[in-house]
Structures are given as C-alpha cells and as structure tokens.
Structure 1
Amino acid sequence: MNRIPLIVSTDWLYERLEDPKIRIVDATTFLQHSKTGYYDVWSGKETYDEAHIPGAVFADILNELSDPEAEHSLTVPQRDFFTEKISQLGIGDPETYVVVYDRGAEVGNTIASADWASRLAWQIRYEGFENVAVLDGGFPKWQAENKPVTDEAGTYPETIFTGERNPALFSTKEDVKKAIGDDKVVIINSLDSDTYKGKTKTYERAGHIPGSVNVFFGDHSNPETKGLLDDEKIRETFENAGALDPDKRVITYCGSGIAATWNGLLLNKLGQNNVSVYDGSLTEWTSDSALPLETEE
C-alpha cells in the first residue's frame, strides 16, 4: 500500500478514523523533572483509560516496550520481545498503517513536540515496519479542536510483525565514540541549552558529548497551536547545525533516547535519511566516567 507521511495532521487522521487498515496507537508517557536531578517517568495508561482517540490501543513504552533487564530504563529491547508485544496490539501487517500519538513531552511544560510518539514510531521502524506516522500536536491538539474522544478500549486483530531490523537507525556508545572528531558525522544534542552547556545537572555528570551541536527538540513546534512550525523555519535550524548535508551522517541523542527521535524524525521529513539515534544517550554516557564531556566553560 502507499506510504503515509512521516507526520500527519489531526484533520488527516480524523478523515481516516473508519479505515479498517488504520492502527491508531496512544503512546502517552509522562516525564517530570525532579528537583534532585534525574526525572521521574510513568505510564500514561490511566489517562488512556479516561479518554483517547476512538479506536486507539495503548502502547506502554516504559513497562512493556523497553528492555526489562537493561541497566537503564527506556532501552531498546531484544527484537523478539518487542515484536511479540507490538504484534499483540495489531501492528505488523504490511497491509495496514500506523499513526502514533501522545499527550506531550514533559509534565508542566508547554513543549508541543510529540517525542514519545516519535520514540515508538522509531522503534517500530527500527524493527522493519515502515508505514508509521506521528500525529502532529498529539492528543492536546485533537482535544482543542473538539474532535471525538472515547473511554472505550480499542482493539485490533493480533498479527505477525513483518520486516527486518534496520541497524542504520541505531547508534551505540561505541559508534558515538568513533564519531567524535569525524567531520563526516554531525552529532546533535537534542536537550535544552542549559543542559547542553552544563549549567543544569540532570545526569550523573553535566555537559554534552564533545563536538555535538545543540538543537533543542522543543523549538520546532508552536506551544499555543501545538502544531509544527513551517518546514522553512525548521530547515533553517538544522541547516545552521550542518545536519542537512547529504554527504554527512547524523547521530541524535538526548537524555534517554526519546527527544532524540523527534529531531531524527524531523530530519527525515526534511530529506536527511542518514540519521541514527544514540539509544543510551546521556543516561548511559555520563555513567561512564572514562567518557569525555564538554561544558560551556
């Protein structure tokens, strides 16, 4: 079937609610920064039970679609583990297409980026299913437009996940170490400016990976409308970072590999397809004292 856009509008989805080939997924996860440093994260299942887009199923990124045995939370699980879980939600049939949404990036923050949705979409694409999109503005924009919601749980027929894992979308700590100083690789830090500069210490050590450039994932959407800025504006931001050079490879990272997927998705939307996500990001990097960090000073 035809490939759907990487990012779709609320109107686009509304017009297709009754399509038997669609699979709508609520990937809501809540993250709240703690005064003590590292953030708290919890599942959005309770809010899904209260209200969601009609037909949507809930995907628990934190508790069911991350590696339960990993040292750090929100780590990509083994392929078989992920594909079994996602197939139970009805995702994987090549004759269907998937739209993922969430309820926002952070609790108590006006950031409109749909990075939890982009995280799940990236995981699905990483495992080899390409026909997946993220809903621009997510559930907040959907609700603001008075589009229909329900508390009735959605279900789709269980299927068999198809496709093969695409390793080009994934970067490890070793990949990033090799990329430092390589002028053919652009490393993008997707966090806020203060964290990038080392003024805020959220992780075990403050600062950013040497040579990485700062493109804050929250700067691409309008906090009032919840929608994306024009492509021209977003393109200018990434061009200034050198990330749209077709002859270069891009690695995005953040704290736990969530916000990084939003920057990665937008780069794909703008035509830069040579993009991978450093899954471990600063949570893993800063826990290894042998790995270098830079600060503003």
Structure 2
Amino acid sequence: MKKITIKDIAEIAGVSVSTVSRVLNEKGNVDDSLRERVLNAIRETGFQPSKFARQFRKRITQVHVAIPIWEEPYLRVLDGLIEAFEDKEIFVSVGKSTEDSVADIVVLISDKDNCEGKINITVGSDFDNCSVVFDYFHAYKELTDFFLKNGKRSYTLLSTGLKDYKTCKLYAAFLKAMFHGGIEDYDVILLENEGDFLNKFSRLSDVVFCVDDVIAVRLIEALKIEGVRIPEEVSIVGHGNLTISQLVIPSLTTVEYFNRSIGKMCASVLLKILNGEKVPKRIVYKGQVIKRESSI
C-alpha cells in the first residue's frame, strides 16, 4: 500500500502543501474551511506525520529570508545574518517571496518591493512590523558639506524616476540636503529609459549624485568618452557600494547601507522576537560614505 504523504493530503483537500504544513504545525493563519478540509483528508486517509520531522520542527527554529530582487547589497545582509546564526539551532531558508511561508520568523530584505504575507522584520523599507530603515539625508548632508568646502556650487540628482521606495527617499534626501546647505543651483533629472542620458543634461553640474552605482559608472564612462575630467570638472557619487564601484576608473565615491553588520544586527533582533522580548518598531541606520577618486 502506498504511503500517504503531505502532498497527497494537499491534493485530496485541494490546497497547497504549505497550507497542510501550517495546519499540522499550528502556524500561520489558515481559513477555517480550508483547515477543516485538511483535517477531513487526514482523518479519511489515516495520515500520520513523520515523528522525526515533527521532532525536527520542534527542535529547530525556521527563519525564512525573502529577497524579491537578487542584488549584491541584499546578499551582504543575508551573509551577515547567516553567519550570526551559525552556532544557533536555526534553519535559514531563502526565496523571492514571503507568501505561504511556514517559518517561525520571516525577514524581507529590499528597498524596492514589499511582499505580502507574514513578515516579522523588514530591511530597507517601512512595513507594518519591525523595520530597519536608512537615513539617506545624513549621507547626502555629509557629502554636500564636503563638496561645499571644496568649492562645488552646483548639484544634480540623476534618478531612474520616482518609482520605488528607495528613489523617492533619495529624492527627498537630496532636496533636504540642498535646503540645509543653502544651495540654490541644483537640478533633478529623472530618466525614463537607459538611453543616452547625457542628452538630459542642459549643462554639467559640479557634482552629480546618482541613485545607484550602475548609473554612476555608466555616467563616468560616458563623460570620459566626451573628454570630461573626473573629479576636476565634475564629481560623481553613486549609491550601494557595488564591486564595480571599486573597479571603474576613477574609482567611485558611494554610500553603503546594506552590509554584513546590518545582517548581524537583524539576527540579534530576531533572537529577541523568538524569546518574546520587545523590539523597536523602527531602527534607523545612517549608512557609510565611502570617498574614492571620483570626488577627491
């Protein structure tokens, strides 16, 4: 006789495997009608979950990390989080979504997209939970003060548009930095596509802030072709501290937010949640300005 599995129960009940798992482990929210269908299927088949699996679930805490878009900065946070859990009895799974997760704790790492479903802590954007957010203004003010002291008077923000959480926050931080610096000569360029964006400049400012390192590197390469000297004629600032920011010539000044220390800090917060301790609703990280050849 074929051994009944959790997959069979899901097919009989007409639900997903994750729904059956939530019913068995009494985790997550399951609609009463779906729960009854699962329980009926279990009774009809005489299904019994593996004792080893049940003991494993009881002994090992499960943490699911959702990264909707796989990018280098997010993976640095993941690396730090996993490292912090190495000596703990915690199993970490990774995926692009939080939906249908049956883990004890769910972490979302993204400054662009939010996922629906159970989320305990978010890194990079505000959500209705414990959120680690970034003070973009602090870095822009530090850089603006530096440039003003070095005689830089005109500024431009080069953005891919105001289409997500990060670009909107950077736009607001740039305007605030201009106000606090008493700077009136500034401009904002919103790119609609990845075409020849040099045509978007009516003139070249002393400093160009870019919303990510990829755009900044493309700008550097385009300006070099035009014979523009960096940083003598224009200083370029990126965002993210991607590996490419160190390889481009001249090397790119940038700001790093997502890093291993953020991952380790998240791990300590998650342990407090697991222990039933109170955690702050909002944790603000100022980021790290990394000055390189494109600005000095």
Specify the TM-score bucket, using the shorter chain as the normaliser: under 0.3
Q: TM-score, normalised by structure 1?
A: 0.23
**Relative to total residues, which structure has the larger helix share, 1 or 2?**
2
Q: Identify the structure with bigger relative contact order (alpha carbons < 8 Å, sequence gap 6+).
A: 1
TM-score by length of 2: 0.23
